[in-house]
């Protein structure tokens, strides 16, 4: 989690909403973009409607960090510019975008599929 978030953030609320899976997640909380960048390891892969590469054509690598922005506004330009990869999920029928949680789940599943074993 990188502040400022697009929603009220607390570890207690997150663990409550995560149900049985909250204890399995490794959560990192950063007070700012600069604090995140200082700790970042691996490539930064941004899910964005402005992505140059379709998710299904992107080659994930171990250590990639998947980043999603706010549903309403995405990420600021400086974050977009800092990404090592910018991927999109093609929307058939001309839809603009999927819900951010659904998009993240799809991208995580594809990264896992590619990197399994």
**Bridge partners for 30 per DSSP:** 2
Is 67 annotated in a binding site? The answer is no
CA dihedral 114, 103, 11, 64 (to 10 degrees): 30
89 is in an annotated binding site: yes
Does 6 appear as a known binding residue? Answer: no
Q: Which residue matches tokens 């929603």?
A: 7
Q: Does 97 belong to an annotated binding site?
A: yes
Say whether 11 sits in a helix, a strand or coil: helix
d(CA 63, CA 100): 21
Binding-site residues from annotation:
47, 69, 89, 97
Q: Which residues are annotated as a binding site for S-adenosyl-L-methionine?
A: 47, 69, 89, 97
């Amino acid at each position: 989690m990188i502040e400022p978030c697009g929603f009220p953030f607390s570890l207690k609320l997150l663990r409550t909403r995560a149900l049985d899976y909250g204890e399995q997640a490794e959560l990192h909380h950063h007070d700012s973009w600069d604090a995140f960048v200082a700790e970042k390891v691996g490539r930064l892969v941004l899910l964005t409607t402005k992505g140059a590469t379709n998710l299904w054509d992107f080659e994930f690598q171990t250590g990639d960090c998947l980043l999603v922005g706010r549903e309403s506004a995405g990420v600021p330009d400086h974050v977009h510019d800092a990404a090592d990869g910018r991927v999109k999920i093609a929307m058939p029928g001309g839809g603009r975008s999927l819900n951010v949680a659904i998009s993240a789940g799809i991208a995580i599943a594809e990264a896992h599929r590619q990197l399994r074993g």
